[in-house]
Amino acid sequence: MSNLVFPSTADQDLPVTQHHDIYPGIDPSKFQASLTGKVVFVTGASRGIGEATARAFAQSGATVFLAARKTATLESVKAGILKDFPGAKVAYHVADVTKPESVKAAVDACIAAFGKIDIVVSNSGAVEDILRKLAYTVNGGILGQVLSARMTKVQSLNNVQEVNVQGNFNVAHYTLPHLSKTHGYLIFVSSIGAQYITPGLSGYQSTKHVLNRLVEFIVAEGDGTVKVFSLHPGGIKTEMSMSGGPDVAQYLIDDVKLPAWTMVRLVHGEEDYLSGRYISSNWDMDEVLTKWKGPILRDDALKNRLTMPREL
């Protein structure tokens, strides 16, 4: 797909200062040793946002448990954390979030190692080949090529569904009982794409929209002891996001530390009123708290809604 354009979502974004890097409200110096004694379980922890998040929590004093599919990359992230933050407690377990038994094994390993889970960052994600749309037409009678392309899209969409929906569901299912005991936090790394309809991204954007609703369900079914957020990490250059090519890369202007330290801030209590809602790492969280907390609670905002026509 050439000249990919994302529609405006101005009416679905808070009118606050937008940040693309560390700012005073999430400055690491504010959180030194603030999470000592807390245990953080991070999926997709072997690179990109997951790695940066694990490092931020370790720097804040938390014990970190890493989960991802490859031993070598997990070992590398662990070694990097121990090198830069001497005395940090880090362990890992190889896990594929699409397989329930694999997630359960990782959660059990975390409990065996550290005895509890206080915070979960569900970060695993996938995106389809954005060059291919949902439907195809036969062009020039080359039916075989068209069917091959269609199968590629179907297989790609199935993978996106398994990782972004089933994978996050698996993580929630096996960690929520432990988070209930610690009155903890669950953060899904979602996307502002949940609010978009961009041709060629039907799988990715639909599944990210599902995460917003899943957050609402977890809160509705819970007793309020676990705080749950759906977080847009910003436009981050990762191996997954860069697969979209130059048309997507132009939007990837945010530092990977932005979502990492936003998540650290989210688990300190001041933002508990945002539980069950969609949040963007780009938002100035101080402005959200001081100017928008009241209206958000009053209107039960930052949740999925069906737009109805205005009164005649």
Q: Kindly tell me if the per-residue pLDDT of 265 is higher than 90.
A: yes
Beta carbons of 120 and 171 less than 8 angstroms apart: yes
- The band of 245, judged by pLDDT with boundaries at 50, 70 and 90, is low
Mean pLDDT value of segment 150-162 = 69
What's the rounded mean pLDDT across residues 264-287? 97
Give the C-alpha distances (Å, rounded to integers) separating 243 from 159, 165, 224.
15, 20, 38
**Given this model, what pLDDT does residue 141 score?**
44
| pLDDT averaged over every residue in the chain | 87
Task: Taking residues 283-306, report their average pLDDT.
Answer: 96
| Longest pairwise C-alpha distance within the chain | 65
More confident of the two residues 34 and 241? 34
Q: How far is CA 28 from CA 7, 39, 237, 284, in A?
A: 34, 18, 21, 15
pLDDT band of residue 132 (cuts 50, 70, 90) is low
**What is the average per-residue pLDDT within 268-287?**
97
Q: 42-46, 76-80, 169-173, 244-248: lowest mean pLDDT where?
A: 244-248
Is it the case that residue 30 has pLDDT exceeding 70? yes
At 203 the pLDDT is 79
| Predicted pLDDT of residue 199 | 79
Q: Which residues of 41-61 are buried (b: 16+ CB within 10 A; e: fewer)?
A: bbbbbbbbbbbbbbbbbbbbb
The pLDDT value recorded for residue 312 is: 78
User: What residue spans define the domains of the chain?
Assistant: 24-299
Higher-confidence residue of 132 and 167: namely: 167
CATH 3.40.50.150 fits 24-299, yes or no: no
206-232 tens-digit pLDDT? 888 899 999 999 999 999 999 999 999
* Rounded-to-integer distance, Cα 63 and Cα 61, Å: 7
Indicate whether 246 pLDDT > 60.
no
Per mean pLDDT, which range of 15-19, 25-29, 239-243, 280-284 is the poorest?
239-243
Using DSSP's 3-state secondary structure scheme, residue 68 falls into: strand
Task: Return the pLDDT at 223.
Answer: 94
Q: Is 267 exposed, middle or buried (0-12, 13-18, 19+ CB in 10 A)?
A: buried
- Decide if pLDDT at 264 tops 90: yes
pLDDT at 227: 98
Q: Rounded CA gap, 214 and 75, in Å?
A: 31
Residue 181 pLDDT greater than 60, yes or no: yes
Q: Output the pLDDT for position 144.
A: 46
pLDDT at 150 over 50: no
Higher pLDDT, 35 or 146: 35
Q: Please compute the mean of the pLDDT values over residues 235-254 and round it to a whole number.
A: 63
Q: Indicate if the pLDDT at residue 16 is higher than 80.
A: yes
Which residue has 């009123």 as its token pair?
273
- Its pTM stands at 0.88
Confidence of residue 145 (pLDDT cuts 50, 70, 90): very low
Q: Report H helices in 32-167.
A: 48-59, 71-84, 100-114, 143-161
Q: pLDDT of 32-77, one tens digit each?
A: 999 999 999 999 999 899 999 999 999 999 999 999 999 999 999 9
More confident residue, 158 or 257: 257
